[in-house]
Amino acid sequence: MKLQHKDLIDLLKKAYSGEKAAALAYSGHAASLKDQTEKAKIKQIEIDEWNHRHEIFQIMEKYEIEASKYYEFRSYIIGQIICLSCYFIGRFMPFYFAGKLESQNVGEYLKMKEYFNQLDIQEHNNLLLNLSQKEKDHENYLLERIKNHKFLPIFEKIFNWGSISAVSEL
């Protein structure tokens, strides 16, 4: 069955490739950390991102949607740049920007669910809600790690993410 929803198809392709960028970035983030508990948690988030990518791929396969070569290439480059930069930019920024991206992912999965429901397709609702909740859990964890950092108020104002009140249950 082919989907007749351009925005949904594009969002699926972006999410699929975006999970690749995130997983690659988290591999560098985890490797750059000294604290073994944080390292293990970030490594688990990386695994979650690879799993999310697989789950999105299964949806794409069902609807005969091919991955975008452009998005895949772009995500690989972005993921590798972030992966490497984690060794040089300190501890705060990888946590901050990963949290901001996780926040955006929450909305993407909810938007996907909305688009599917517009097509009267509900079979993916639970999966998309679970993916969204997992991204929210990641977001909450990442913010928790930096909630008392001296740069957080500055980054909140510039990048519009990070206040404890903005991060809540899904």
Domain presence at residue 31: yes
Mean pLDDT of 14-42: 96
Does the pTM exceed 0.85? yes
Q: With bands split at pLDDT 50, 70 and 90, how would you rate the model's confidence at 155?
A: very high
Mean pLDDT of 75-83: 94
Domain presence at residue 89: yes
Contacts of 158 (CB under 8 A, 6+ apart): none
Q: What pLDDT shows up at residue 84?
A: 95
Report the share of the chain in percent with pLDDT over 90.
Answer: 90
Range of the domain at 102: 6-166
Report the share of the chain in percent with pLDDT over 70.
Answer: 96
Mean pLDDT of 142-149: 94
| Phi, psi for 128 (deg, rounded to 5) | -65, -35
Q: Over 50: is that where the pLDDT of 165 sits?
A: no
If one counts the domains in the chain, the total is 1
Mean pLDDT of 98-105: 91
Whole-number average pLDDT of the chain: 93
Tell me, letter by letter, the H, E, C secondary structure of 100-133: HHHHHHHHHHHHHHHHHHHCCCCCCHHHHHHHHH
Q: Over 60: is that where the pLDDT of 168 sits?
A: no
Q: What would the pLDDT profile of 33-68 be if each residue is shown by its tens digit?
A: 999 999 999 999 999 999 999 999 999 999 999 999
Mean pLDDT of 90-105: 91
Q: How many CB atoms lie within 10 A of CB 63?
A: 15
Domain presence at residue 157: yes
Residue length, the chain? 170
Domain presence at residue 54: yes
Name the DSSP class of 160.
S
Q: What pLDDT shows up at residue 164?
A: 53
CATH number at residue 54: 1.20.1260
Domain presence at residue 1: no
Instruction: Give the helix ranges, DSSP H, for 33-68.
Output: 36-62
